[in-house]
Amino acid sequence: MNSYSRSEPTLSGAGYVEFDTDVLVLGGGPAGTWAALSAAERGARVILADKGFCGTSGATAAAGTGVWFVDPDAAKREAAMAGREAMGGYLQDRRWMARVLDRTYRNSHRIAEWGYPYPVDTAGNRQLTSLQGPEYMRLMRKRVKQAGVSILDHSPALELLVDEAGAVAGAVGIRRQRQDNWLVRARAVVMATGGCAFLSKTLGSNVLTGDGYLMAAELGAEFTSMEFSNAYAISPAYGTVTKTLLYGWATFTYEDGSVVPGAASKGGRSAIARALMQGPVYAQLDKADASTREAMRASQPNFFLPYDRTGIDPFTQRFPVTLRLEGTVRGTGGLKITDDSCATSVTGLYAAGDAATRELICGGFTGGGSHNAAWAMSSGSWAGAGAADHALRSGSQRTSSRAGTVGLRDRPGRAFSPAVLTKAVQEEAFPYDINYFRAADRLLGSLQRLDALWREVSDAGAADRAAILRARESAAMLATVRWMYRSALARTESRGMHRREDFPRQDERQRHYITTGGLDDVWTATRPKADAVVSEAAE
């Protein structure tokens, strides 16, 4: 931990609103809302704080999501589990896959009971395999409120509170619309702040800057599978919609109109990335016939918004595309889970959704949808219940102090610019030749620059109160990319989405997990796969 004294005031000169509760949930996407609901149903008092407006913020609220929903038929379940094991590099854990399928089945039926308008097939059966983000999250907000949870909207958490024993004891944040601060003392905290997409403008992800990772790391939390963090999605070069399904009907071309070889095939993203390193790449959805075009517009209306706005007909005209980094949002790295209740390595701190690792059900690859949504609702339910049980078992609140470090101090004259730091981090995290196609020399070069940046900012502060949120976000992204690249260096093979040009093959001796952590000194370690969480289910 840094030299910053925890008793030093960090948000001086501004008022606080203080709360005392059993469970504090940070983040109000699907993982956070399921956690809040589940904790409240366990009899705990719950507060949920979101950076944006809970119900509209985060990666799910902006999109439609496929859900890994499979009927409890043994053959279907077996096929669902076996189907993606090779893609994930055989790092999944069958026991966790089975329990996520069970929990997703139960939760999806609850969503149906609550009145979500699932489509019905011609035989009259409800189709529970996808959810429209806006409707789903509006319903989740309603259920959370009905369960008695207090919601703090537009209230990003900045740092955690810690007690003398090192257990989490709440958090501190700001209320952006009221220009003041909140402090919640809690007996347990669920970290559900989503993943880190590095402000790449990918759909719904600009609130996802890895804040929860930084806060947890300041209490010594461990991370795992952070090398599987280089998900890139196709998007129009001038837009943010990263829904990629419809590109299955596209032809990709270079500037001169010639076809990019391999771009339209399975794994075509690598061909697009290589082509983008040489110059612009264009797409045209010319493989869709008239009825398919109609179905595409009906099923994914927001996909077409950027084209409609700019007067382009994507079926008959080509348009420039790019690959936007989605980092850990559609990657699988995150906080390490230590038991079936989604506890982390910090006492009292639980993790859910993209803030947590998804290695247990996805291994090293998530790719096209479904698993993340299933994980968010399942891990959210377990983390909420686990946090409630922990809180209700704990005695009265103990003395606590602030655990935050970088970017929080008022240090006029010793402040860093969040915008400059963000740009510097993006220059290391975005390039395809560092992050998409990896090699030791390029990763090491990047890490040298990133470590130097960390040394510069870790002892600096925010210029003033208004800059604190952005300062923390930029520092969180810097910390995240350092865990990613240290882990990427430690995995000397290609597996899942982690591609090493200097080690192009999967090496069966490396069928293990890589754990990482630390802020000033980032460390990595390997864990055998058999170590994956073995405690009894806390349903």
Nearest Cα residue to 477 out of 415, 427, 402: 427
Tokens of 500: 């090493």
Considering only residues 155 to 184 of the shown chain, the ones binding ligand FAD according to CB under 6 A are: 156-157
Q: Is 404 in the site for ligand FAD (CB under 6 A)?
A: no
CA dist., res. 293 & res. 414, Å (int): 56
Please identify, among the stretches 219-227, 322-330, 342-350, 452-460, the one whose residues bind ligand FAD according to the rule CB under 6 A: 322-330
Count the neighbouring beta carbons within 10 Å of the beta carbon of residue 539. 12
CA dist., res. 31 & res. 161, Å (int): 22
- Nearest residue (CB) to ligand FAD, 21 versus 510: 21
The C-alpha torsion from 160 through 163 and 164 to 165, rounded to 10°, is -100
In contact, 333 and 479? CB cutoff 8 Å: no
DSSP string, 107-163: HHHHHHHTT----B-TTS-B--SEEEHHHHHHHHHHHHHHTT-EEETT--EEEEEEE
The amino acid at residue 311 is G
Q: Is 192 in the site for ligand FAD (CB under 6 A)?
A: yes
Q: Is the dihedral of CA 220, 222, 227, 233 positive or negative?
A: negative
Q: Which member of 203, 335, 450, 460 binds ligand FAD (CB under 6 A)?
A: 203
CA dist., res. 425 & res. 419, Å (int): 10
DSSP string, 462-519: BSSGGGHHHHHHHHHHHHHHHHHHHHHHH--S-BTTB-BSSS-S--GGG-EEEEEE-S
- Nearest residue (CB) to ligand FAD, 328 versus 524: 328
Q: Is 15 exposed, middle or buried (0-12, 13-18, 19+ CB in 10 A)?
A: exposed
Q: Which member of 60, 107, 284, 328 binds ligand FAD (CB under 6 A)?
A: 60
Q: Which member of 23, 39, 40, 59 binds ligand FAD (CB under 6 A)?
A: 59
Helices and strands of the chain, counted as H and E runs: 13, 18
**Contacts (Cβ under 8 Å, ≥6 apart) of 340:** 99, 382, 533, 535, 536, 537, 538
Q: Which helix (DSSP H) or strand (DSSP E) does residue 382 occupy?
A: helix 371-393
Please identify, among the stretches 118-126, 178-186, 205-213, 287-295, the one whose residues bind ligand FAD according to the rule CB under 6 A: 205-213
- Nearest residue (CB) to ligand FAD, 306 versus 447: 306
- Nearest residue (CB) to ligand FAD, 273 versus 489: 273
CB of 285: closest distance to ligand FAD in angstroms?
18
Size of the residue set binding ligand FAD (CB under 6 A): 44
x-or-dash string of contact with ligand FAD, 505-534, rule CB under 6 A? ------------------------------
Start-to-end CA distance of the chain, whole Å, equals 35
Reading phi first (left if > 0) and then psi (alpha if -120 to 50, else beta), residue 493 is in beta
CB of 348: closest distance to ligand FAD in angstroms?
18
CB of 327: closest distance to ligand FAD in angstroms?
10
CB of 457: closest distance to ligand FAD in angstroms?
18
Q: Which member of 45, 84, 103, 330 binds ligand FAD (CB under 6 A)?
A: 330
Tokens of 424: 């510097």
Please identify, among the stretches 7-15, 27-35, 431-439, 529-537, the one whose residues bind ligand FAD according to the rule CB under 6 A: 27-35
Q: Is 324 in the site for ligand FAD (CB under 6 A)?
A: no
CB of 66: closest distance to ligand FAD in angstroms?
4
* CA distance readout (Å), 182 to 106, 160, 223, 490, 500: 35, 12, 27, 40, 44
Q: Which member of 23, 29, 44, 253 binds ligand FAD (CB under 6 A)?
A: 29
Considering only residues 229 to 268 of the shown chain, the ones binding ligand FAD according to CB under 6 A are: 242-243
CB of 376: closest distance to ligand FAD in angstroms?
4
Q: Which member of 21, 40, 45, 58 binds ligand FAD (CB under 6 A)?
A: 58
Please identify, among the stretches 204-212, 317-325, 439-447, 450-458, the one whose residues bind ligand FAD according to the rule CB under 6 A: 204-212
Q: Is 27 in the site for ligand FAD (CB under 6 A)?
A: yes
Nearest Cα residue to 189 out of 473, 424, 391: 391
Q: Is 480 in the site for ligand FAD (CB under 6 A)?
A: no
CB of 502: closest distance to ligand FAD in angstroms?
30
- Nearest residue (CB) to ligand FAD, 244 versus 446: 244
46-49 vs 16-26, strand pairing mode? parallel
State the maximum Cα–Cα separation within the chain, in Å, rounded to a whole number: 70
Q: How far is CA 519 from the centre of its chain?
A: 19
Considering only residues 334 to 393 of the shown chain, the ones binding ligand FAD according to CB under 6 A are: 353-355, 369-373, 376
CB of 168: closest distance to ligand FAD in angstroms?
14
In contact, 387 and 31? CB cutoff 8 Å: no
CB of 62: closest distance to ligand FAD in angstroms?
7
Considering only residues 35 to 54 of the shown chain, the ones binding ligand FAD according to CB under 6 A are: 49-52
Q: Is 208 in the site for ligand FAD (CB under 6 A)?
A: yes
Chain residues that interact with ligand FAD, rule: CB under 6 A: 26-32, 49-52, 57-60, 63, 65-66, 156-157, 192-194, 202-205, 207-208, 211, 242-243, 326, 329-330, 353-355, 369-373, 376
